[in-house]
Structure 1
Amino acid sequence: MNLLSLLAGLAPSDPHAPIAIDVHPSKPVHVDRAELWRRTLQLRADLATAGVGRGDAVALWLPDWSCVLDWHIATASLGAHVVPLAAGADGEAVRAVLRLAGPKVVALPARDTGAAGPGALRDAVAAAGGPAPAVAVVAGPHDAPPLDPASHDVGGGAWLPSAPAAGMPMPATRGDELAVAFPVPAAGGPAFAAHRESAVVRHAQAYARALEAGDGDVVVCASPLSGAVGLGAALAALAGGATCLLAPGAGPGTLPGLLSRFAVTHVVADDETARRLADSWPERHRDPAAWRRLAVVGRHDRAAEATEAAERAEKETGVPATAGYCSPELLAPAALWPLDTAVPRRWQAGGAPVPPGLEVRVVDPVTRRPVPEGARGELWFRGDGVAAEHLGGDGARREPGGWLATGDLGALTGGELVHAGTAGSGKKRA
């Protein structure tokens, strides 16, 4: 199973079911499964024409638009991988992507959306000193494409994605290459943790089951798609057959209105967004009857904040909240509590491992030996969801047997983990 075949399995069963919604105050764009399929196949052809192939990188510097899904699926289907850039990425972050990933194509928004633009990319290309990438100029869901993309050329040419055509055949795909790479801390400078396509698909399917998100559900992806948390939520919605609601720039204060307007069933948010959502709730007097779950999934170094946000959000909104656990080297979330877990345990950062093939152990940070069940130690992982390779530095240290040492403290009981913060001296990077 790969991302393209995952999408191919959805489209025929109910081609007009919504798969994504690009929010707008007056003209939201509903994207159905058939349209996403057509867009993806056309973009795949465009990328192949641009010379993207097995082992190549494509950088995405785009807002949280539904077309980001097209780009991930189309790129992976060619055996290439996506390196996302945050909307507000600074010059250093862009230069790191150019130096370490060497993208053949960089996708930029046609309109100026802030930091992401041809001027900033042009400066980064000059500073990085390598070959200039081609630029794909993306109009987004609410604008017409420009007549001429030349103003976005940074030295490697610029092109416009083609309008999707009907009737394109299912292409043959092969192999299991890297599909996405996210930035991680490393002692030797910037690095990117890269994940194989099969692991991304298995995680998305398992996450959809953990969220209990399926046909007819609407999932708000409140974290940026440029990060592992936001992309994980979007792909889980896709894998489960749910609809991914995308609202770039929407703050927690606007979320209550979106919940009612679009009959949202699930919200995936970091601790700050969940807390601010709770803070704004009493003033809104909303009753989003469809909303039934909040997943608080955020940075691994904010375990206490995630616990506090999950508890506060559930008490203010009355909607069950579950906290999760993330680590920079793992697909996010690595763990999430089942909905039937009793509180306050369900509010604690941690949970049951999301992919069935993800192994967890807890070790003494000094001796590196496993501790008794329920005792606190450093969290180690191996298997599904752990980064397969690194672009640039080495990332977190690997132990004998292929175990990833996260540098996070926690305890393991009955196969479920509780995250207890950072391990101090255990947080060493190779």
Structure 2
Amino acid sequence: MSTRTETLSALLDTLVSENPESAITYDVVGDDVIVSSRADLRNRAEALCAELDAVGVRPGQCIAVMLPNWSDALVWQFAAATVGAHVIGVNTRYNTGEVAHILTAACPAVVAVPAAFHGLDLFGRLAEAAASVPDVATPVVAVVHGPIETSTIDREFDLGGGSWIAGSGVTGGIRVPDTPDRATLTAAGVDDDPDDRLAVAFTTSGSTGVPKLAAHRHSAIVRHGHADAAIMQVGEGDVGLCVLPVSGVFGFSTAMAMIAGGGALLMETVFDPSAVLRRMRQVKVTHAVGADDLFGRLYDEWHDGERMDLSTLRWIGIADFLGRSHEIARWARDEFGTHTSGVFGSSEVFALTMLWNADDPESVRWNGGGRAVEPAIELRVADPLDDTRVADGEQGELQFRGPNVVDAYLGNPEAAVRAFTKDGWFRSGDLAVALGDGGYRYVCRMGDVLRLRGFLVDPAEIEGRLAQHPGVGVVKVVGITGDGGYTQAVGFVVPTDDAPADTDAENLKAWCKSELAAFKVPAAIHVIDRMPTTVGGNGSKIRAVELREWAQNWTDRERDFRRD
């Protein structure tokens, strides 16, 4: 793609002009795959744009899109951006409190909900959330049929402000409320062109408190999509696996990279590993992005079931949440010749903001981190106490400047100040090391790093040693405050099904001691039957907070579920 555009509508227009009949999405309905061309998607976006104009959506307002991974979610993004509104994605798994927070912080004028999806009462959840925040303006509801249009709707979708069936062309004279502008510009967005409007916002993980809503402008989305597509080598006819919800930053960034590069998207709404593998073979998926929990389930299904031919799979980007990324990368390389890159990203700087190059060695490339995907993205590793740059090879906070950095926060003016240094760098909250050659190795969240005997220790170093034990399946190391106020490392291990009988705390600590410095050996190791996990927009993560609570409560003795 030689043309560079600065708005989402111009990007779609360019794609249509180059090849209107080229596939852009594959929707999944049961066992069927429904193809939409570029021209189809633009026609649907234009029709929706007319409806948004008819109900009075004005530039600067917010639209909440509570849809699964249907092509409709992309239609809403393009249509909203065309009228100057911005989209906040609402994950279909969000609970009532999380939905209420979005209603309060973003004040959407419209909420798009599915007429039906997988037996979930999403409108009921929305209604409960709206009732819990009565002081917030009541949004209009747009009912979305999805890939297969049904002739009837068997319930009323109305929060009190009215509703209409999206795509019908009939809005019934309803008008959206006059919602306030909830955006506070950041140091990165304050000097930008005001005509370059906000187009999308993502919820942050909320690991440091209430989730923030991080918003980005048109030009940043399109520019970043082109940069990612170039590194991923996306071209006409390629197909990306879109399993992660496009309401989240990793699913959205993957989708925009594939679209910007001229590719298409396999839109998976429910993750059934066997069915996903079949469809990956059917539509010839070439690219995929996800965490090792997602790829791990595909890996396990492939080995236990039919070994699908996935030889079209050229590139995967992987985030390591469960310690399986190297195992998965080796499988993909050996079976399909797939190139694997670790990734780095966040709601505030887009996903896939760092990727490794094709010529980086696997020992580096299969880990988190990477190189900035375009020269305009500046990075530094700084001392979090005074924000001075640290030497290459030393650990510090990874900080960003550039077109990818969050332009505004919705409903949180304080975040726009706290998130930036005095000299205008975005604080990622992530610990990293500059390698000296333009690459950056991700270490961990700064809140996860352990200070043991005065030394900063990445829990992954201890986890890596434990994971090498033949009886260990899944491992996580957390820190607690021990006697005397000093931090202690505590390990949690889920053994393999065929783990040797001596896979216990005593032997596992001896295993660590044979390779690690004494101060890195966990003070306690608990053998448990499963890890507590949480499912978010970017995959499943082990709940370190819950493990810390267990560790703090279990200081009397080491637990072993097989013997307790």
The code of the aligned residue for 2:196 comes to D
Q: Is the 8 A contact 2:311 2:336 kept in 1?
A: no
Alignment of 1:96-135 (within 5 A): 96-115=101-120, 117-129=122-134, 130-135=136-141
Q: Which residue of 2 aligns with 1:421?
A: 444
Aligned-residue offset at 1:317: 5.2
Long gaps (5+) in structure 1: 165-173
Q: Distance in 1 between matches of 2:326 and 2:107?
A: 39
- 1:306-331 CA-to-partner distances (Å, cap 9, x unmatched) read 55654555456542211101233221
Aligned counterpart in structure 2 of residue 177 of structure 1, from 197, 209, 215: 197
Q: Distance in 2 between matches of 1:243 and 1:39?
A: 17
Q: Which residue of 2 aligns with 1:167?
A: none
Q: What SS is found at the alignment partner of 1:59?
A: strand
Alignment of 1:224-263 (within 5 A): 224-263=245-284
1:360 paired to 2:379? yes
The code of the aligned residue for 2:229 comes to A
Q: Distance in 1 between matches of 2:295 and 2:336?
A: 11
Aligned-residue offset at 1:181: 1.0
Q: Distance in 1 between matches of 2:92 and 2:78?
A: 20
Aligned-residue offset at 1:364: 1.9
Closer/same/farther in 2, CA of residues 77 and 426 from structure 1, 3 Å limit:
farther
1:60 paired to 2:65? yes
Q: Which residue of 2 aligns with 1:8?
A: 13
Q: What SS is found at the alignment partner of 1:344?
A: helix
| Greater Cα shift, 352-361 or 222-231 | 352-361
The code of the aligned residue for 2:311 comes to A
Q: Distance in 2 between matches of 1:409 and 1:186?
A: 15
| Greater Cα shift, 99-108 or 401-410 | 401-410
Aligned counterpart in structure 2 of residue 138 of structure 1, from 116, 134, 144: 144
Q: Distance in 1 between matches of 2:308 and 2:208?
A: 48
Would you say how many aligned residue pairs link Structure 1 and Structure 2? 414
The code of the aligned residue for 1:366 comes to L
Q: What SS is found at the alignment partner of 2:196?
A: coil
Aligned-residue offset at 1:147: 5.7
The code of the aligned residue for 2:146 comes to G
Q: What SS is found at the alignment partner of 1:12?
A: helix
Q: Distance in 2 between matches of 1:308 and 1:155?
A: 52
The code of the aligned residue for 2:213 comes to F
Closer/same/farther in 2, CA of residues 354 and 163 from structure 1, 3 Å limit:
farther
1:19 paired to 2:24? yes
- 1:361-408 CA-to-partner distances (Å, cap 9, x unmatched) read 001233421112232211011112111111133446210221111111
Q: Distance in 1 between matches of 2:431 and 2:406?
A: 20
Q: What SS is found at the alignment partner of 2:149?
A: coil
Q: Distance in 1 between matches of 2:288 and 2:11?
A: 23
Which structure exhibits the higher relative contact order, with contacts defined as CA atoms closer than 8 Å and separated by 6 or more residues? 1
- 1:89-118 CA-to-partner distances (Å, cap 9, x unmatched) read 100111011111111110000114455522
Q: Is the 8 A contact 1:294 1:322 kept in 2?
A: yes
Q: Distance in 2 between matches of 1:312 and 1:422?
A: 28
Which structure has the greater CA radius of gyration? Answer: 2
Aligned counterpart in structure 2 of residue 377 of structure 1, from 391, 396, 414: 396
Q: What SS is found at the alignment partner of 1:333?
A: strand
- 1:230-283 CA-to-partner distances (Å, cap 9, x unmatched) read 011111111111011111102334332122111111112222111222222223
Q: Is the 8 A contact 1:355 1:384 kept in 2?
A: no
Q: Which residue of 1 aligns with 2:558?
A: none
Q: Which residue of 1 aligns with 2:74?
A: 69
| Greater Cα shift, 19-28 or 237-246 | 19-28
Q: Which residue of 1 aligns with 2:362?
A: 343
Q: Distance in 1 between matches of 2:299 and 2:336?
A: 7
- 1:210-241 CA-to-partner distances (Å, cap 9, x unmatched) read 11111011111121111000011111111111
Closer/same/farther in 2, CA of residues 385 and 316 from structure 1, 3 Å limit:
same
Closer/same/farther in 2, CA of residues 288 and 426 from structure 1, 3 Å limit:
closer
1:285 paired to 2:324? no
Long gaps (5+) in structure 2: 1-5, 170-193, 451-564
Q: Distance in 2 between matches of 1:303 and 1:337?
A: 20
Q: Distance in 2 between matches of 1:131 and 1:193?
A: 21
Q: Distance in 1 between matches of 2:216 and 2:355?
A: 20
Aligned-residue offset at 1:126: 1.1
Q: What SS is found at the alignment partner of 1:326?
A: strand
Closer/same/farther in 2, CA of residues 365 and 325 from structure 1, 3 Å limit:
same
| Greater Cα shift, 116-125 or 203-212 | 116-125
Closer/same/farther in 2, CA of residues 24 and 187 from structure 1, 3 Å limit:
closer
Q: Distance in 1 between matches of 2:327 and 2:243?
A: 18
Alignment of 1:390-429 (within 5 A): 390-393=409-412, 394-395=414-415, 397-413=419-435, 414-424=437-447
The code of the aligned residue for 2:315 comes to R
